[in-house]
Amino acid sequence: MNDPVAGTAPVSPPAAPRRRPLLLWLPALVVAGVVASLGVGVDAEPGKTPNTWIDVRSHAASGEGTRADPWVDALRNALAVHGSDHTYHLPGGFYQDSSALVIQNDNVSIIGDGGEGATLTTVIYEKDDGSSCWKFLSREPGKYLAGIHVRGIHFFGNMKATGAAIEIESIRRGVFDDILITRFQGDQTTWANKGVWLKGWDSISFRRLRCYRVTRCIFIDVNPNHPTIDADHFHFEDVTLVPGDKAHGVGIEVVADHVMNLVFDGTNTIAGANKGVYWHNRGKSAMGLNFTLENVRIEQGGYRDDSWGVFIEHSDTLRQFVARGVRVSSGYHGFYLRGVGYITMDNCFVMGGATSGRHGDRESGYTAYDIDAYGKMPVVMTNCSYMKWNERSQMKIADELVFDAGDALRIYQDGGRVMLPDRESANESGAR
């Protein structure tokens, strides 16, 4: 898969925002005088109230908006002047900050022009100090930002940045839409680069997130501002995650302990990684609830023993795990689940292992499903299958396995015992 990177050709700066003509009658002069006394501009997007739509270019410390000469500190300076409750517009072109930008304002919208190539709103970040390009953080410890909306921005690390593109330490009610993150792979020692680094709080949505050449595309971490809740109501829709590192790359990584209502749906792709989904929380006694993966294609793995499509090892319990329409193929093992309870898998397919002579051969085999659910909690699988190339292609279910055929049939994998409603048949020749 190709890596879409902003074009290298210089881009002419967009035309300056059009000023509204000065009206020649008295009421308009009075309004203009009041606005001037407040020290705010009168530019506005059509249909918006004046003084809420701010073109950040006029606040840039320097630059012409080209890749060679980007606008410097434009958003930083605009936020410092206008603060919360405004919409900040970054017209197409190139932007750069002199250092990591910490955003601490509520109810702000940061809007780029989206698009492709030279017309894209691109934020260049090449810092090698481990810092994040944009960090959302409340001014008060233990509090959160509310009402954050970011749309149409391309974050470009140029293979130099060693931190994250977006770091969210404390947001409640945030929407990120049409976000492109490319070439955040500057850390070739600890492999700690992240696309989106989430630490909390709740009700955060990402739509149309694309990450290319980013070692850890989505990273959900422990919340430093809350003792029990790390992440609640995080929703991802129509994401494309391509770490581009088959030895170290991860599409979705979770190390937080108490995660509730984490949902991936829409149409989603994870490609070119060591692990598609990697959940390995750090050991605090906290239960996770409701993790849903829906319509996810995971492919182009690393052909390694540790390459898995979905690998979950929860130190306490992750309950209500649902995988629906998940396909794992090309160089991966399939599903590895430990410490996971009430597992429901529907229409999943695994075709792992090596697929060509260049990377090996089909005789290498793979493990399609390796599931040992928490305690005696059942595993429900409906229309789940895998490509069995040879005897080394495996399916391991260590706990009660329920084939969803209605209330009339329950089959235990480890004893071949058939269960019927209100009675038990001791027929040991039951299907396995």
**Are residues 146 and 47 both part of a single domain?**
no
How many domains would you assign to the chain?
2
What is the Cα–Cα distance from 132 to 102, expressed in whole angstroms? 9
**Are residues 42 and 87 both part of a single domain?**
no
Give the CATH number of the domain where residue 357 resides: 2.160.20.10
**Are residues 46 and 195 both part of a single domain?**
no
Among 6, 33, 51, give the residue marking a domain's end.
51
**Are residues 125 and 157 both part of a single domain?**
yes
Q: φ, ψ for residue 305 (rounded to 5)?
A: -65, -25
**Are residues 131 and 41 both part of a single domain?**
no
| Residue 16, domain member (yes or no) | no
pLDDT tens column, 9-52: 333 444 444 333 433 333 343 333 333 333 344 344 444 444 58
Q: Which residues of the chain have pLDDT under 70?
A: 1-51, 115-118, 282-285, 354-364, 400-432
Q: How confident is the model at residue 107, as a pLDDT?
A: 95
Name the residue range of residue 204's domain.
Answer: 52-424
Pair 384, 346: CB distance under 8 Å? yes
| Residue 284, domain member (yes or no) | yes
Pair 126, 157: CB distance under 8 Å? yes
Which two three-digit tokens encode residue 213? 């050449």
Q: How confident is the model at residue 154, as a pLDDT?
A: 96
| Residue 432, domain member (yes or no) | no
**Are residues 237 and 147 both part of a single domain?**
yes
| Residue 1, domain member (yes or no) | no
Provide the 3-class DSSP secondary structure of residue 33.
Answer: helix
Q: Which residue type, as a one-letter code, is found at position 115?
A: G
Pair 256, 221: CB distance under 8 Å? yes
DSSP state of 365: -
Q: Compute the residue count for the chain.
A: 432
**Are residues 221 and 311 both part of a single domain?**
yes
* Beta carbons within 8 Å of 50's beta carbon, 6+ residues apart: 35, 42, 43, 44
* Beta carbons within 8 Å of 228's beta carbon, 6+ residues apart: 258, 286
**Are residues 206 and 74 both part of a single domain?**
yes
**Are residues 255 and 315 both part of a single domain?**
yes
Q: How would you label 352-383 residue by residue, b for 16+ Cβ within 10 Å and e otherwise?
A: bbbbeeeeeebebbbbbbbbebbeeebbbbee
Of 298, 292, 237, 239, the closest CA to residue 263 belongs to 292
**Are residues 324 and 256 both part of a single domain?**
yes
| Residue 76, domain member (yes or no) | yes
Q: How confident is the model at residue 22, as a pLDDT?
A: 35
**Are residues 230 and 265 both part of a single domain?**
yes
pTM of the full structure? 0.82
Q: How confident is the model at residue 401, as a pLDDT?
A: 65
Q: How confident is the model at residue 418, as a pLDDT?
A: 41
| Residue 14, domain member (yes or no) | no
Q: How confident is the model at residue 395, as a pLDDT?
A: 84
**Are residues 104 and 116 both part of a single domain?**
yes
What is the Cα–Cα distance from 49 to 306, expressed in whole angstroms? 55
DSSP state string for 72-120: ESHHHHHHHHH-SS-EEEE-SEEEE-SSPEEE--SSEEEEE---SGGGS
Q: How confident is the model at residue 11, as a pLDDT?
A: 39
